[in-house]
Amino acid sequence: MAEREFDYVVVGGGTAGCAVAARLSEDPDVSVCLIEAGPSDVGDDQILDLSRWMELLESGYDWDYPIEPQASGNSYMRHARAKVLGGCSSHNSAIAFWAPKENLDDWAAGGATGWSAEECYPFYRKLETALDTTEEAEAPGRGTDGPVTIRTVGDQDPCGEALLAACEQVGLPTTPFNTGRTVLRGANWFQVNAKPDGSRSSASVAYIHPNLDRPNLTLMTGYRAEKLNLDTSGPRPRATGARLRTPDTRHAIDVTARREVVLSAGAIDGPKLLMLSGIGPAAHLREVGVEVVVDAPGVGENLQDHPEGLVQWEALQPMPTASTQWWQIGIFAGSEGRTTPDLMFHYGSVPFDMNIVRYGYPTADNTFCLTPNVTGAQSKGTVRLSTRDYHDKPKVDPQYFTHEHDREVMIRGIRVAREIAAAPALKEWVGKELAPGEQDSTDEELFEYIRKTHNTVYHPSCTVKMGADSDDMAPVDAQLRVKGVDGLRVADGSIMPDLITVNPCITTMMIGERCADFIRNPR
């Protein structure tokens, strides 16, 4: 069995893992290994050209996880998880937001000490170079020399311009994003982590591509982790590395970490790998035949997501034939009395019929849509092993719309979308409502449509949440160390105590930055 040894082993070359590996390898006196199950994205225009991102769904770059049958949701839905260097930052629409101050302060107040907005915002600044942004007096100050380029979408989209005017007419003013002020009600063109030429500024492009020649950074693509290796001979188990396999070999490869292992495999594969390694809910592990090393009941619990609805219209004028990434505008429509919005929309300038055609809803080639999503969904699910074989996909059960709050917010979202579409500014654009269609008007009719056809914004998170040492359902502490195991941290979207209001990609990079800082500067 071949063996390799490093100071640090990062399992998962995704949105956070790339940041962790790059920052740790800035120290020339340590060696770092970054492991990614998928291929490299270097020179691959299918990945790097942001406008082609929708081609990646259910492609060879997608782990493509089905979900368990849903009592209140769309059982046909699938979760796209990227199988490529850069992870979901190489696979998504690159919408870039800092987390609202209120979200981060709630994390800290709930037991994630050190994760307040005041303590996290410097790491957002560290990772970004922000282009053409609007600053306000209360803005936290945008970064100017970080590896990730963030800029405002500048598409020539007359329907989008009319949409922003329509939003103004219904009380949702054009409001700058990422200024330090949480937008409760407003709309604007998105900011994206992309370069001016339309190529991605993903975690791999930003953190790994410029550093491929570092002698102390080893990149291993095409290697899938079977399990984490744990030494159980001492008073506490210690992570010593990972066992890897490639699709074309029967032989395992062990990589060894002299100092620490960082697991950055995401909110689905991360808890799966922990459980396969014996770290998870003891009863479940025994049920599937995995030896229990650490009884960690919170592993795979607390799955949160942004469920997404759809209102789609036939366009009366030709829609754009080119775009930065086809989802260019965000709209927030928070309820009165809230400090963060409970409802967000993405405006799409292309047909989005993947979940409606099976039910006979009409579609067309020239359409636009608004996709309301529940930003603070109260329905929470689980990730569980299906078997103890690492080849097998885990059981992903988001339990969509099992909480009444989520139903109410989504129904309101469809009504708000219709209100925007009825505004005078969109009169020359809005044709027939294709889905759900004007025949659905009652709350019951609208929820039945939602239940059958809803999608996701592909933001599964929170399945290995961080929290106070006393919180038995928080598998990691506030410095991302796995409780009960030495030498093991988790750094990805799974560690969020609660999913943030907005698209979480940039926050996941920030988590990677913070993990590297914890390791390099022990508290």
- Phi/psi region, residue 87 (left: phi>0; alpha: psi -120 to 50; beta: rest), is left
Q: Which pair of tokens denotes residue 463?
A: 């399945």
Active-site hit among 79, 306, 346, 459 = 459
Among 391, 324, 337, which residue's Cα sits nearest to residue 149?
A: 324
Question: What does the buried/exposed string (b/e) look like for 264-299 if buried means 16 or more CB atoms within 10 Å of the residue's CB?
Answer: bbbbbbbbbbbbbbbbbbeebbeebebebbbebebb
* Helix or strand holding residue 287 (H, E): helix 282-288
* Helix or strand holding residue 507 (H, E): helix 505-520
* Helix or strand holding residue 411 (H, E): helix 404-421
Q: Which pair of tokens denotes residue 9?
A: 């082993």
Cα distance between residue 255 and residue 8, in whole Å: 10
To the query of whether residue 209 is one of the catalytic residues in this protein, the response is: no
404, amino acid identity: E
Q: Which pair of tokens denotes residue 322?
A: 């080119």
Cα distance between residue 415 and residue 252, in whole Å: 55
Pure H helices in 94-236? 101-109, 117-127, 158-169, 203
- The residues facing 429 across adjacent strands are none
Cα distance between residue 328 and residue 437, in whole Å: 24
At residue 338, the 3 state secondary structure works out as coil
Cα distance between residue 16 and residue 341, in whole Å: 26
DSSP-assigned states of every residue in 224-270: EEEEEEEE-SSSS-EEEEEEEE-TT-S--EEEEEEEEEEE--HHHHH
Distance from CA of residue 37 to its chain's centroid?
A: 18
> Which amino acids are annotated catalytic?
459
